[in-house]
Amino acid sequence: MNTNAVLDKLSRSQNIYGALEVIAECTDLAVNLDSFRFYKDVNDSAKLRMLAQESKTVEDFVRLLKTTDSDLARAVDLVPQGNSSNKVRDGEVREENPGTGNRRSPSRYSSLGYFMDTCRGQSDVARHEALDELAIVMNKRTTNNVIVCAPPGVGKTHLVESYASSNKCQFEVFYLDLPRVIAGTKYRGELESKMVTILTASIDEEFAIFVDEIHTLALTKSAEGGVNLLDILKPYLLQPSFRMIGATTPDEVDHLLADNAFARRFTFMRLEELTDEQLCGIYAEFTNGSCLEAAFGSKFWDVKARLDAALPQKNYPDKLLDYLEYAESFVETLGIYKHEPEAAISITMDRYLKNRFT
């Protein structure tokens, strides 16, 4: 039966159980009928007709249906029964990821974010303990969801990048870009449908989801009459096969703690600012082999003293790395090799601070 015919039958269903029967009869999607017999007694014909009209495919209908009731999140499995990871589905080929053994998500998810395959910026030289702690929580049988809490610039996102690209991570990590998710959603159900799509896919395809600034979920309102984004997440957080990492700041974490039903499904992990010894290690690693090795030498404490005095409101390692990257570019572009290290630091630091507001 073609898609339009199935959607027509769905639009004429009198209740949700009847719609599930149509899906089970006319598609190869796995439907859990036994747990939803109580829906037989509820007339949902108007809602089902509206959902069918808004859907282009049966999968669209299922995703929209799941947003109307959190219990329906487990009603239909969007992976067809008997479908292997490398079969064609919705016109796309799924391929095994030889690096981790997990399945690479179809390219259509690129509109919602990206996979964190590599670690950008500084290495994890100073975060071994934090990496171990993150890996331990993520490998738990239950409550394997983490929120990393730290002030801006301490390295929350970098920690997750390091984890995603390390051998401690047993699955891929997908960066869910909330602005991309929210973009273009005007009508009720659109935002919820996008969220359900990626949340369901993360279970079906066994990857974790990372949400930076996760407190924005509590502040984001869907279209009038829609479901709160935190409420959409809650049924998924109960499933052991679902894993999520979030990042927030101490100033914003209260938005999440206010919802106890949401907060209790996470482990909140505090990330401390790096010690001076750890920062010295990052400085040595950054300058080793670069133009700064000759220009600055081993003048970490001079650099740190200047940064502490000029930018007390900013946090490490962000302000150290930002300055070192600027100084490296400055030296490579203009050249100050003839100066003594103290003079080179003074020249680059003065220029670095000259046009900065903070």
When pLDDT is cut at 50, 70 and 90, the band that residue 66 belongs to is confident
Peptide bond into 317 cis (omega under 30): yes
The answer, yes or no, to whether residue 205 has pLDDT greater than 70, is: yes
Contact of 247 with 211, CB cutoff 8 Å: yes
Residues 126 and 218 in one domain: yes
Let me know if residue 85 belongs to a domain.
no
The structure tokens 């914003």 sit at 252
The structure tokens 């920690």 sit at 159
When pLDDT is cut at 50, 70 and 90, the band that residue 322 belongs to is very high
When pLDDT is cut at 50, 70 and 90, the band that residue 224 belongs to is low
Residues 112 and 21 in one domain: no
User: Per the structure, how many domains does the chain have?
Assistant: 3
DSSP string, 279-324: HHHHHHHHHTTSHHHHHH-S-HHHHHHHHHHH-TTS-TTHHHHHHH
Max mean pLDDT among 73-82, 92-101, 103-112, 144-153 falls in: 144-153
**What mean pLDDT, rounded, does the chain reach?**
81
Q: What percent of the chain has pLDDT over 70?
A: 80
Query: Of 51, 79, 107, which one is at a domain's C-terminal end?
Result: 79
Residues 103 and 15 in one domain: no
pLDDT, residue 134, reads 95
Let me know if residue 86 belongs to a domain.
no
Let me know if residue 293 belongs to a domain.
yes
Cα distance between residue 55 and residue 23, in whole Å:
14
Let me know if residue 84 belongs to a domain.
no
When pLDDT is cut at 50, 70 and 90, the band that residue 208 belongs to is very high
Residues 148 and 261 in one domain: yes
Residues 232 and 176 in one domain: yes
**274 Cβ contact partners less than 8 Å away, ≥ 6 residues apart:** 126, 154, 155, 282, 316, 317
Lowest mean pLDDT among 80-94, 291-305, 344-358: 80-94
The answer, yes or no, to whether residue 139 has pLDDT greater than 90, is: yes
Let me know if residue 281 belongs to a domain.
yes
Taking only the tens place, the pLDDT of each residue in 238-294 is 898 999 999 999 999 999 999 898 999 999 999 999 999 999 999 998 988 888 888
pLDDT, residue 87, reads 34
Residues 262 and 289 in one domain: no
Query: Of 216, 245, 270, which one is at a domain's C-terminal end?
Result: 270
